[in-house]
């Protein structure tokens, strides 16, 4: 059992856990992820590392509650634990000295981008953090993102805080204002990463995205996480999760992410029927 030490509700449906996982914390690098199982009947769910502390033996994850497994996870509290935490998986993020780097994040991606932004800043880059949310209520950890960047720009879909719009609009603003951008890193939902890649493509700004296709084993064995990048088949778990956003076949990725929608909805429906009392007690 991997104990949950801290739980924090960050935004509607976004939760932070600090979990005891000393072996992962010893080896973790920015951009990597873990695969966890909530209980003995649980599926394997990948989660990006939002932080780790080798001395305390802890890791941090931030997650969006979308379906059965993340709903089960969201009901756990400090004192309880998850059955397995395996990892770290994936190639660490590329961290070099590029110059001015935009780190764009939304939703759970705000947690996931923190270690990457911190490492880029430590390498001497000027880090411009861009955070998006549907509204002010969906933004969190501005203080943490500010601490690892030189500049923070906030965008909300409804204009309730910062620029009205999304991360891709902020990137377009920066480009149109003549700002030199040497690299963009986008982490969040697939649509957001696709839009950020579109915003930089015609300007030739290298853009890295952290892909989240459906994964099972996370070790390159099952082939489930296949993505097309630059016309080649790549396995996101071992070749990624970072890829060149201008080379990703986004339509294929989005359609593959919906492959099991019927089964996922059925699973959630059955789980909620059996566990309505746990949801009421929240």
Ligand X SMILES: Cc1cc2nc3c(=O)[nH]c(=O)nc-3n(C[C@H](O)[C@H](O)[C@H](O)COP(=O)(O)OP(=O)(O)OC[C@H]3O[C@@H](n4cnc5c(N)ncnc54)[C@H](O)[C@@H]3O)c2cc1C
Residues engaged in binding ligand X (CB under 6 A): 33, 45-48, 61-64, 66-70, 108, 112, 212-215, 241, 257-258, 261, 264, 268
- Residue 166 CB, nearest distance to ligand FES (Å)? 29
Instruction: Report the residue number, 130 or 181, with the smaller CB distance to ligand X.
Output: 130
User: Which residue is nearest to ligand X, using beta carbons?
Assistant: 67
* 133 vs 154: CA distance, rounded Å: 8
Q: Residue 242 Cβ, how far from ligand X at the closest point, in Å?
A: 10
In whole angstroms, what is the distance from residue 266 CA to residue 69 CA? Answer: 13
> Cβ 90 to ligand FES, closest distance in Å?
10
Q: What is the DSSP string of 44-93?
A: PEEEE--EEETTTTEEEEEEE--SHHHHHHHT--BTBEESEEEEEESPPP
| Closest separation in Å from C-beta 204 to ligand X | 27
Closer to ligand X at the Cβ: 20 or 100? Answer: 20
Nearest-approach distance from CB 159 to ligand X, in angstroms: 25
| Residues near ligand FES, by CB under 6 A | 215-218, 220-225, 235, 237
Q: Which does 75 bind (CB under 5 to 8 A by kind): ligand X, ligand FES, none?
A: none
What DSSP string describes 146-158?
Answer: HHT-SEEEEEETT
Closer to ligand X at the Cβ: 177 or 282? 282
Q: Is 253 helix (H, G, I), strand (E, B) or coil?
A: helix
Q: Which is nearer to ligand X, 81 or 88 (CB)?
A: 88
Closest by Cα among 133, 106, 111, 13 to 62: 111
Separation between Cα atoms, residue 118 and residue 127, nearest integer Å: 9
CB under 5 to 8 A by kind: which of ligand X, ligand FES, none does 46 bind?
ligand X
Alpha-carbon span 119 to 125, nearest angstrom? 9
Q: From the CB of 254, what's the least distance to ligand FES, in Å?
A: 18
C-alpha distances (whole Å) from 119 to each of 23, 34, 94, 101, 160 are: 21, 19, 10, 12, 31
Q: Pairing relation of β-strands 100-106 and 51-53?
A: unpaired
23 binds, among ligand FES, ligand X, none (CB under 5 to 8 A by kind): none
Contacted entry of ligand FES, ligand X, none for residue 220, CB cut-off 5 to 8 Å set by kind = ligand FES
Nearer Cβ to ligand FES (100/239): 239
């Amino acid at each position: 059992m991997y104990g949950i030490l801290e739980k924090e509700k960050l935004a509607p449906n976004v939760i932070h856990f600090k979990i005891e996982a000393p072996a992962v914390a010893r080896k973790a690098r920015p951009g990597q992820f873990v695969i966890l199982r909530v209980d003995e009947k649980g599926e394997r769910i990948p989660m990006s590392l939002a932080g780790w502390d080798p001395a305390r033996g802890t890791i941090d994850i931030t997650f969006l509650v979308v379906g059965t497994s993340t709903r089960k996870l969201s009901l756990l509290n400090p004192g309880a634990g998850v059955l397995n935490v395996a990892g770290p998986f994936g190639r660490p993020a590329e961290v070099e000295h590029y110059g001015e780097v935009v780190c764009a994040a939304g939703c759970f991606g705000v947690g996931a981008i923190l270690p990457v932004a911190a490492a880029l800043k430590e390498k001497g880059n000027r880090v411009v953090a861009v955070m998006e949310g549907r509204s002010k209520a969906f933004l969190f950890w501005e203080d943490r993102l500010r601490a690892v960047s030189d500049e923070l720009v906030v965008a909300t879909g409804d204009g309730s805080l910062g620029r009205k719009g999304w991360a891709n609009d902020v990137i377009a603003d920066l480009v149109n204002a003549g700002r030199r951008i040497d690299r963009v890193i986008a982490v969040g939902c697939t649509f957001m990463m696709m839009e950020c890649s579109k915003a930089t493509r015609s300007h030739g700004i290298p853009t890295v995205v952290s892909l989240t296709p459906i994964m099972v084993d996370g070790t390159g064995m099952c082939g489930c996480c296949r993505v097309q990048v630059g016309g080649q088949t790549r396995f996101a778990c071992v070749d990624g999760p970072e890829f060149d956003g201008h080379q990703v076949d986004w339509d294929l990725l989005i359609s593959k992410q919906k492959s099991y929608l019927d089964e996922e909805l059925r699973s959630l429906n059955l789980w909620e029927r059996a566990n309505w009392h746990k949801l009421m007690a929240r």
